[in-house]
Chain A
């Protein structure tokens, strides 16, 4: 029973274009969302987050959008660079109810940015 779903296992884009990675969640108690980036043989590294009081958060080339009614979030990378090629994990947690330190992860999307 996946509570966080990344339905696209892989995505390929051209350098300079926009990359859009999608994530859906089913648990209405989730109110804090994060994106992690993972290179081979390394641990995941934090990229960007958003809390449910916002619908957009931007950090340089990375923007996360949250649509609470649709239980959907997306990560936009503009412009995409070859160094962005990695696996991207969506994660979610609930800040209420005492379980706020437990993240639930999606399966990840492998992004390949072609030069």
Chain B
């Protein structure tokens, strides 16, 4: 079973370019999340979704957009990439809210130069 799949694994962008980080899960989880992890730091929540068609901002949403048209997919869009967006991005999902651990993908390492 695949769990949470993220593509691409690596990407280098020039300043001002745009891209979409893909995330899909096959566990039929309603809840999905995007986190970023900067070197030596914990994970910070960018956006989350509690179900198809419902998204909301997390702690660090500026410079990003998301959509949730299906239960399985939760893409993260970067418009006008900036060096401050150089990070490792993790997508995660969970079965329910409350006492339900998150299942993470293996991450996308993004460098903006």
> A residues bordering B, Cβ < 8 Å?
4, 9, 32, 34, 36, 41-46, 49, 51, 89, 95, 100-108
Q: How many A-B residue pairs have CB under 8 A?
A: 57
The reply to whether B97 and A100 contact each other, CB–CB distance below 8 Å, is: yes
User: Is residue B105 contacting chain A, with contact meaning CB distance below 8 A?
Assistant: yes
Between B31, B40, B92, B99, the greatest number of chain A beta carbons within 10 A of the residue's beta carbon is seen for B99
Given known A49-B101, A101-B48, contact A44–B42 (CB-CB < 8 A):
no
- The 0/1 profile, CB within 8 Å of A marked 1, for residues 86-113 of chain B is 0000101010011101111111000000
With a cutoff of 8 Å between Cβ atoms, the chain B residues found around residue A100 in the complex are 97-98
Within 8 A of A (CB), among B59-109: 90, 92, 94, 97-99, 101-107
Given known A43-B107, A46-B102, A51-B99, contact A4–B42 (CB-CB < 8 A):
yes
A4 to B64, CA, bound (A): 25
DSSP class of A's interface residues: helix, strand, loop or mixed?
loop
Q: Nearest residue in B to A98 (C-beta to C-beta)?
A: B97
A32 to B97, CA, bound (A): 12
A–B pairs, 7, beta carbons within 8 Å:
A32-B99, A44-B102, A100-B97, A101-B98, A102-B45, A103-B102, A107-B42
Within 8 A of A (CB), among B1-41: 4, 31, 33, 35, 40-41
A45 to B97, CA, bound (A): 18
Q: Nearest residue in A to B107 (C-beta to C-beta)?
A: A43
Q: Distance in Å from the Cβ of A54 to the closest Cβ of chain B?
A: 11
The reply to whether A105 and B43 contact each other, CB–CB distance below 8 Å, is: yes
Q: Distance in Å from the Cβ of B38 to the closest Cβ of chain A?
A: 10
The reply to whether B97 and A43 contact each other, CB–CB distance below 8 Å, is: no
A42 to B48, CA, bound (A): 21
The reply to whether B106 and A41 contact each other, CB–CB distance below 8 Å, is: yes
8 tightest A-B CB contacts, nearest first: A43-B104, A105-B42, A46-B101, A101-B97, A105-B43, A107-B42, A43-B106, A44-B104
